[in-house]
Amino acid sequence: MSVMVGFAGFPFTRFTEREALEEAANGLRERGLSAVELSFSRCRLYVNPKSQGLMYPSLAQAEEAKMAFEGIMIGVHAPYTLVISSPSSKRRRLAKAHFTMNFKLGEALLANHLTFHCGPAGENAEEHVKEFLREIMKVREEHGYVTMPAPEVAGKKGSFASFETTVRIAGEVGCLICWDIAHDYARGGLITTRDGILRRLELLDDHIQLKGYRMPVHISGVVATRRGEKKHVPLARGGVPWMFFLSVLREQNYLGKVILLCEAKVSGGVRGRLDEAASILKFLQSDKKVESYRDKTKIDGFFM
């Protein structure tokens, strides 16, 4: 299977112009990139004068985006305000309404996956998350929605949840995960060793049934504290062993199972994000291999 590389975080709201979509799509094609994750991160179901946020794009806009990104794998990212780890019935009803909207837009976009954050790691969070995901998977099945939910590995230690927990829960309910390797790294995940990465791939194979889908993988640099992730940064900063990680995935013939989405925070707007994502593709096309996390050798302009 072919390697799919692109970028995450392209904002898609009611005010996104078609020209912006076409510019991003053309930028992907010009660089040989083949994937994008559209972000509804600031979208609201209802907007009033006191609220902060923008309305979701219309279904007609989603159809336009699908045409603009023809031949490019699309994923979507739900708003950051969703919380499914809480026992609050109000929060869960609101989250369910957002998921329904995301499913409808995902259907129009033919989106591969729906990435989302679960919320704080409070008391009984795991049971709340599993219960909610089972409800959402039932809604998805009843309506025949194509987009697959993908809870994201959390970056902050106070957020739900770690790689291992996220994989186990996703396996139980039958959905994907979004493996953010910067988040995994920031909360102490063992992606700095070959054995650690191989163990993660084993867990994925044991628990996640892809069912024809590809698993989204977010890649970026990260600034971390004892509490985990603080902020995303360019690939060259933050210590995330992304080239070592990709070297292991390539060696294990795993690249055909995933979508590699660059989520690095860089200057230059969409063009800067496209160029950063292109550096991932360039590394993979170089056939160079980073043997370990401590390999500091310069490789065609890259440094580990």
Q: 5-64, pLDDT tens digit by residue?
A: 999 999 999 999 999 999 999 999 999 999 999 999 999 998 777 767 799 999 999 999
Q: Into how many domains does the chain fold?
A: 1
Confidence (pTM): 0.95
Mean pLDDT of 141-166: 98
Q: What is the pLDDT of residue 197?
A: 98
CA end-to-end span of the chain: 27
Count CB atoms within 10 A of the CB of residue 32. Answer: 12
4 phi-psi bin (left φ>0, alpha ψ -120 to 50, beta other): beta
Q: How far apart are CA 152 and CA 185, in angstroms?
A: 13
Cα 124 versus chain centre, distance: 25
Which residue range is the domain that position 68 belongs to? 4-285
Tokens 């160079």 locate to: 288
Mean pLDDT of 133-141: 98
Residue 32 lies in a domain: yes
Residue 297 lies in a domain: no
Tokens 């794009």 locate to: 57
Residue 30 lies in a domain: yes
Q: What is the pLDDT of residue 1?
A: 59
Question: With bands split at pLDDT 50, 70 and 90, how would you rate the model's confidence at 300?
Answer: very low
Residue 301 lies in a domain: no
Q: What is the token pair recorded at 136?
A: 């959402």
**Residues of the chain with pLDDT > 90: what percent?**
91
Distances (CA, A) of 287 to 29, 275, 290: 21, 19, 10
Mean pLDDT of 122-136: 98
Residue 291 lies in a domain: no
Question: What digits encode the pLDDT tens for the residues 259-287?
Answer: 999 999 999 999 999 999 999 999 999 98
Q: How far apart are CA 174 and CA 209, in angstroms?
A: 7
Mean pLDDT of 79-86: 96
Q: Helix (H, G, I), strand (E, B), or coil: what is residue 227?
A: coil
Picking from 155, 160, 283, 148, the residue whose alpha carbon sits closest to that of residue 216 is 148
Distances (CA, A) of 233 to 88, 152, 247, 296: 34, 18, 21, 19
Angle at which helices 59-68 and 89-109 pack, to 10 degrees? 50
* 165: pLDDT strictly greater than 60: yes
Report the mean per-residue pLDDT for the chain: 94
Q: How far apart are CA 281 and CA 109, in angstroms?
A: 24
Residue 292 lies in a domain: no
Q: In this structure, which amino acid lies at residue 213?
A: Y
Question: Which CATH number fits the domain that encloses residue 72?
Answer: 3.20.20.150
Largest CA distance in the chain: 55
Q: How far apart are CA 112 and CA 3, in angstroms?
A: 15
What is the number of residues in the chain? Answer: 304
Residue 294 lies in a domain: no
Question: What digits encode the pLDDT tens for the residues 167-226?
Answer: 999 999 999 999 999 999 999 998 999 999 999 999 999 999 999 999 999 999 999 999
Torsion of CA 192, 194, 199, 205, to 10 degrees: 110
Q: What is the pLDDT of residue 293?
A: 87
Residue 304 lies in a domain: no
Q: Helix (H, G, I), strand (E, B), or coil: what is residue 84?
A: coil
Q: How far apart are CA 71 and CA 237, in angstroms?
A: 32
